[in-house]
Amino acid sequence: MEALSCGERRLGSEEEDAAPAVGVSLCDSAPLVWRMRDLRAIRARGLVGALLGSLPRTPRQNGRLGRPLLLLPEEEGLLRERCAAAALPDRCQDGGGAELRQQYEEEEKRSFEEQSVLALEDRKLALLRAMTGAESGAASADEALRRRLQALDQNFTFPQSAMAVQLSTARAGLSYCPEARAFLQTYGPTGAEPRCDARYQVFRDLRGRGFYLTSAGKFGGDFLVYPGDPLRFHAHFIAVCVSLDESVCLLDVLAVARLGSNVKKTVLLCSPGPGATVCYTSLQWSGMI
């Protein structure tokens, strides 16, 4: 068993308590965090979460994602336990949907009208250039040109699908939601009972030692354990949580140990014991580094 240690300065508890509470929006029991200030507060506590949203400027990729941040149930539990987060009621989450939509539609219509006028101008100019460039006849050319321009005026339609749509990349409303703020200030977060399942105990223990934890569904484990911020370090461990009285199939242990060795991480079998202690067993497949 390795001694788990991490050389990171932990936030003093006074600093954590003084920080304002984080508002968590629940979407069908998935805890989401939308506001930048809240995301920064959560990261400062050493909780990573997972970004889910797409970025407006680069929508067709999932290498870099944007807000909202999805919290692990254990992360949400930890925040609630430390009285640092509260679930926002539904009316705050809507963010004034109906009026915003109307506003958006009006803006779109205005933009469409402007764009169709501009498009018509563009076509006329192009036609002029083409006609005057091609022929240099005097009267008949002007006559033909005038007729063409007239036809264009009458028959030109600017299709809706060709309209350029502007996406706002900084939405003012997201960070500033007065209702949510008021709610948090009035009611405040209530401390919740710490959960007693194995995963939560292990999460709390490892976070308390200063490790950063993310979800390890890809690796067949429960958590990926980083010695520092995940943006700066690779994961060292794959934590698999089993309770002490649970029987595990040997083939499952072999599979996860072999997988850990293939991806160069140590597998940790974590079992919460009596009291607040957690017992760790590390596995490595000898013969493979």
Partner 1 sequence: MYADFRAPRRRLRVTEELEAPLPLSPRERSHFQAELLNQHVLVCDPQHSQKIHDQGYFGKGVLSRSRPEHSISNQWEQHEGVFLPVVSQARYEELLKWAGSALSAQGWDEEAVHQTLLRLSQPIQMEDVRNQMGGGGEAEENGERGKEEPEQEGGVSPQMKRSRRGSEVEPEAKRSCSSEQDSDSSLDCDPDSDPDPAPAPLVPGPGFLLVVSDSETGGGVREVRRTPFFLSEYLQLSLEEAFFLVYSLGCLSVYLQQEPLSIVQLWRTFRSLRPDFVSSYAVYHHFRSKGWVPKGGGGAKYGVDLMLYRKGPPFYHASYSVVIERADNAFRASPLRPFSWRSLAALSRITANVSKELMLCYVIYPADLSEAELDSPVCLRRLKVQEMIVSRWVSSRERAEQDDI
Rule CB under 8 A: is residue 73 a binding residue for partner 1?
Answer: no
Q: How far is the CB of 98 from partner 1 (least distance, A)?
A: 34
**Of 14, 251, 275, 286, which one interacts with partner 1 (CB under 8 A)?**
251
Rule CB under 8 A: is residue 249 a binding residue for partner 1?
Answer: yes
Catalytic hit among 234, 236, 264, 280? 234
**Of 77, 221, 227, 272, which one interacts with partner 1 (CB under 8 A)?**
221
CB-based contact 128:145 (threshold 8 Å): yes
Task: Determine whether 236 is an active site residue.
Answer: no
Q: How far is the CB of 250 from partner 1 (least distance, A)?
A: 8
Rule CB under 8 A: is residue 262 a binding residue for partner 1?
Answer: yes
Task: Determine whether 200 is an active site residue.
Answer: no
Q: What is the CA radius of gyration of the chain?
A: 29
Rule CB under 8 A: is residue 2 a binding residue for partner 1?
Answer: no
Tell me how far apart the 2 most distant CA atoms of the chain are, in Å.
101
Q: How far is the CB of 142 from partner 1 (least distance, A)?
A: 50
**Of 43, 258, 266, 280, which one interacts with partner 1 (CB under 8 A)?**
258
Which residues lie below 8 Å from residue 20, measured CB to CB, with a gap of 6+?
A: 37, 41, 184
Instruction: Give the x-and-dash track for 100-119 against partner 1 (CB under 8 A).
Output: --------------------
Which span (99-107, 181-189, 212-220, 273-281) binds partner 1, by CB under 8 A? 212-220
Task: Determine whether 109 is an active site residue.
Answer: no
Q: Say if strands 85-87 and 22-27 run parallel, antiparallel, or are unpaired.
A: parallel
Q: Two tokens at 249?
A: 């199939």
At residue 188's C-alpha, the angle toward residues 182 and 191, to 5°, is: 165
Rule CB under 8 A: is residue 74 a binding residue for partner 1?
Answer: no
Rule CB under 8 A: is residue 58 a binding residue for partner 1?
Answer: no
Edge-to-edge strand ranges of the sheet holding 278-283: 212-215, 223-226, 237-241, 266-272, 278-283
Rule CB under 8 A: is residue 65 a binding residue for partner 1?
Answer: no
Which span (15-23, 79-87, 131-139, 250-258) binds partner 1, by CB under 8 A? 250-258
Rule CB under 8 A: is residue 84 a binding residue for partner 1?
Answer: no
Rule CB under 8 A: is residue 255 a binding residue for partner 1?
Answer: yes
Q: Contact positions toward partner 1, by CB under 8 A?
A: 62-63, 217-222, 240, 249-252, 254-256, 258-259, 262
Catalytic (active-site) positions: 226, 234, 265
